Amino acid sequence: MNEVDRILALREELNRHNHNYYVLNSPEISDKEFDLLMKELEALEQAHPEMADPLSPTQRVGSDLSKGFAHVTHERPMLSLANTYSIEEVDEWFDRVKKGLGGEDFEITGEMKYDGTSISLTYENGRLVRAVTRGDGTQGDDVTVNVKTIRSIPLVLHPGDWPERFEIRGEILMPWTVFNELNKEREYNEEPLFANPRNAASGTLKTQDPKEVAKRRLDAVFYYLLSDELPYGSHYENMEAARRWGFKVSGEMRILKTEEDVNNYIGHWDIHRKELPVATDGLVFKVNSLRQQLNLGFTAKSPRWAVAFKFNPENACTQLKYVSFETGRMGFVTPVANLEPVLLSGTIVKRASLHNADIMAELDIHEKDWLYVEKGGEIIPKITGVDTSRRTPGEPKVEFVVCCPECGTPLVRNDGDAARICPNKYGCRPQITGRIEHFCARRMMNIDGIGEETAELLFDRELVTTPADLYDLTKEQLSLLERFGDRSAERILQGLEESRKVPFERVIYALSIPNVGETTSKRVAKAVKSMDRMQEMSVEQLQAIPDVGPTIAQGIFEYLRDPVAVENIERLKAAGLQMQLDEDKMQQAGTVLEGKSIVISGTFSHHSRDEYKEIIEANGGKNVGSISKKTSFVLAGDNMGPAKLEKCQKLGIPIVGEDEFLNMLEQK
Ligand code: IVH
């Protein structure tokens, strides 16, 4: 087999394995074997650039950056469904259908109402051409780059009876397991939590970084096929066909013939929906025959041939014991309602977050109030209201604390921000111990043996107040601590020793710089290359780092001028931590554009021209003013002048677009 044929065969094979794994949940080969095939394809594609295909399985990783999505008008508007909240209302709809069809026999399909974010995919000749969000129903955002990273969405269809051109609509979902993991990580990083998988899915889909989208492991289920040439006369058969072509289609879809069937379907799923791996907020009933759908038609807002039945979110009413205020590592103070325990969706709820001062004020909670707690699509129970009829007269309103509950320092509030912050960074216990614990955690310096409790103990015994103090600890000091023996002391010292090898990007992450999480730390490390250089950089220079916006840049700049932080860093340098990029990485980072003369022209969306100048220089290139024979390429944004364009053509100078340029830096 020649290499070109091998490429085609590998693509087909990898598509099939993707489908087996992500749609059918039954892989035939191991992950390792899959990776080997993928590597082989990547190598062959690199050797054969003429065979490039944006829909190749190698293109799922989300390589290109895009800022702002293009608006696209839907060929057929994306309508919503009429909602019902009781079996009686569904029965009324059933009767209206019966009447509308003049007594003709009809079938209904029952399916889940998936609680994600809706998406419309267009396929031409069996290939995905566009993915658009619902938007306002008439116009949506073109999110194709992100959707391509969702492994259960086929980029190229299995051979079959698909129309040459069709649209398929469905829901992008974040499975519960992924959602819970993501929130755990965000909680750790003190980033705002996603309230439910729906928000997480839509937030992810709108992310400007397709690589991040690829990491979030979204899923998608499809429920509506549209085309001028649908292969079958019923919704059910068309969806079954879509399943054969490679789409994930609701496995819970059933044909229901009578009102009783519909009611039983509701009864069953009202209980069993909790067993599904993804969030649902109801059921959808549709008239099965497409001819009958056509006869029934649409109202201005929704089809008459379909209806949604919404599940009741589970809620309970319980009494407030007290509101506690908790200060986190970065100083944010969160109000928490501590409740009389109550059973909700199978778990006992004792605490519910009140989020922030604004939300708390809006709820107008008084001491000993009876509160409604709800657990709908959300995993974290939320307080939705107060039963004021049960309020004891005279009980005072619960006010947000004005001082930090831990250290008594007056809280501050940034303009327009709901968050209240304790500014006593270096005197407030949970902030100090939180930073020590964070510094030692597995993904940062990975110092085995120092978790929350030990961090608190070390602080309370006045041994450690900043991470640098850790490196002065002696075996004697450690073995004298409660519950500590020689073994645990040695383990910590060993962990500290090994942490001296932890790479620079993780040292940055370990420092608890505001808004600098794992991904940003990597970007920053790669761009600044050393702590010394990072300490010299201006806000503008920091902002030129890919994905570092003005807030993050300002945060880094201020952090590096805070005397306590600076002293800590200097002592960490002296302790022998990695304060510069690994040499291999440094060479790569600095030399991507080595020896290149680059002209910048036009207007850009990711960075300013000045920032691009910085980026070019940071990567070893030279920014020059005018195009000549010596120019390596022109970095061109929008509206590049016609004279420059002509000159490039005349001299044969390549023109590199903004996204392509950023990709060049990313890949190295
Ligand atoms: S059918 C013309 N089926 O619910 C009607 N929609 O309120 C096309 N949804 O925007 C929609 N599961 O995002 C349909 N099985 C299902 C669904 C479903 C979830 C969402 C969809 C739609 C909204 C309507």
Q: What is the pLDDT of residues 244-257, one digit of tens each?
A: 999 999 889 999 99
Distance 285 CA to ligand 1 centre (A): 10
Instruction: Evaluate whether 428 touches 422 at the Cβ level (below 8 Å).
Output: yes
- CATH code linked to domain 429-585: 1.10.150.20
Contacts of 16 (CB under 8 A, 6+ apart): none
Q: Is the pLDDT of residue 231 over 90?
A: yes
Residue 600's Cα: distance from chain center in Å?
A: 33
Give the tens place of pLDDT for each residue, 64-79.
333 468 889 999 999 8
Instruction: Give the ligand 1 atom nearest the CA of 83.
Output: 7
Q: What angle do CA 575, 581, 585 make, to 5 degrees?
A: 150
Long-range contacts formed by 23-26: CB under 8 A, 24+ apart:
23/152, 23/154, 23/246, 23/247, 23/248
Q: In this predicted structure, what is the pLDDT of residue 412?
A: 96
Give the tens place of pLDDT for each residue, 233-290.
999 999 999 999 999 998 899 999 999 999 999 999 988 888 899 989 899 999 999 9
| Dist CA 668 CA 664 (whole Å) | 7
Give the tens place of pLDDT for each residue, 282-338.
999 999 999 999 999 998 788 999 999 988 777 889 999 999 999 999 999 999 999
Contacts of 577 (CB under 8 A, 6+ apart): 499, 500, 502, 507
Give the tens place of pLDDT for each residue, 421-461.
999 999 999 999 999 999 999 889 999 889 999 999 999 99
Position with higher pLDDT, 623 vs 408: 408
The domain 315-421 having CATH identifier 3.40.50.300: the answer here is no
**Residue 586: which pLDDT band, with cuts at 50, 70 and 90?**
low
**Residue 467: which pLDDT band, with cuts at 50, 70 and 90?**
very high
Label the pairing between strands 633-636 and 597-601.
Answer: parallel
CA 184 vs CA 187, 191, 348, 369, 379: distances in Å: 5, 10, 19, 30, 11
Long-range contacts formed by 201-204: CB under 8 A, 24+ apart:
201/116, 201/117, 201/172, 201/173, 201/174, 202/116, 202/117, 202/133, 202/172, 204/146, 204/174
| Dist CA 553 CA 556 (whole Å) | 5
| Dist CA 445 CA 464 (whole Å) | 16
Q: Find the largest Cα–Cα distance for the chain.
A: 90
Report which of 143, 248, 247 is spatially closest to residue 205, judged by C-alpha positions: 143
Q: In this predicted structure, what is the pLDDT of residue 30?
A: 82
Question: Which one of 113, 375, 529, 613 is the catalytic residue?
Answer: 113
Instruction: Give the ligand 1 atom nearest the CA of 113.
Output: 12
| Average confidence (pLDDT) over 22-36 | 82
Distance 352 CA to ligand 1 centre (A): 31
Q: In this predicted structure, what is the pLDDT of residue 123?
A: 97
Share of the chain above pLDDT 70, in %: 96
The domain 3-59 having CATH identifier 3.40.109.10: the answer here is no
Mean pLDDT of the chain, nearest integer: 90
**Residue 63: which pLDDT band, with cuts at 50, 70 and 90?**
very low
Instruction: Give the ligand 1 atom nearest the CA of 134.
Output: 10
- Domain segments of the chain: what residues? 3-59, 71-310, 315-421, 429-585, 588-666
Give the tens place of pLDDT for each residue, 360-407.
999 999 999 999 998 765 567 889 899 999 999 999 999 999 999 999
Residue 275's Cα: distance from chain center in Å?
A: 24
Substitution candidate for ligand 1 out of 118, 132, 299, 309 with most atoms within 8 A of CB: 118
Q: Is the pLDDT of residue 9 over 70?
A: yes
Residue 429's Cα: distance from chain center in Å?
A: 31
Q: In this predicted structure, what is the pLDDT of residue 558?
A: 96
| Dist CA 115 CA 202 (whole Å) | 11
DSSP 61: G
**Residue 585: which pLDDT band, with cuts at 50, 70 and 90?**
low
In sign, the C-alpha dihedral spanning 399, 403, 408, 413 is positive
Residue 575's Cα: distance from chain center in Å?
A: 36
Q: In this predicted structure, what is the pLDDT of residue 230?
A: 94
Give the tens place of pLDDT for each residue, 503-519.
999 999 999 999 898 87
Give the tens place of pLDDT for each residue, 602-645.
888 778 787 788 788 778 788 888 888 889 999 998 878 778 88
Position with higher pLDDT, 592 vs 521: 521
Distance 86 CA to ligand 1 centre (A): 18
Q: Which residues line ligand 1 (CB under 6 A)?
A: 79-81, 111, 113-114, 118, 134, 171, 223-224, 284, 303, 306, 308
Instruction: Give the ligand 1 atom nearest the CA of 306.
Output: 5
**Among protein residues, the one whose CA lies closest to atom 14 of ligand 1:** 223
Q: Is the pLDDT of residue 143 over 60?
A: yes
Known active-site residue 596: no
**Among protein residues, the one whose CA lies closest to atom 13 of ligand 1:** 118
Q: Is the pLDDT of residue 555 over 60?
A: yes
| Dist CA 396 CA 399 (whole Å) | 9
| Average confidence (pLDDT) over 661-668 | 75
**Among protein residues, the one whose CA lies closest to atom 3 of ligand 1:** 223
Structure tokens at 223: 């429920």
Give the tens place of pLDDT for each residue, 565-575.
999 999 999 99
Q: In this predicted structure, what is the pLDDT of residue 10?
A: 94
- CATH code linked to domain 71-310: 3.30.470.30
Q: Is the pLDDT of residue 200 over 70?
A: yes
Single pTM value for the model: 0.59
Q: Is the pLDDT of residue 164 over 60?
A: yes
Distance 129 CA to ligand 1 centre (A): 22
| Dist CA 556 CA 527 (whole Å) | 14
Distance 198 CA to ligand 1 centre (A): 13
Q: In this predicted structure, what is the pLDDT of residue 312?
A: 78
Q: In this predicted structure, what is the pLDDT of residue 33?
A: 84
Distance 453 CA to ligand 1 centre (A): 48
The domain 588-666 having CATH identifier 3.40.50.10190: the answer here is yes
Substitution candidate for ligand 1 out of 76, 78, 79, 80 with most atoms within 8 A of CB: 80
| Dist CA 559 CA 183 (whole Å) | 26
Label the pairing between strands 633-636 and 655-657.
Answer: parallel
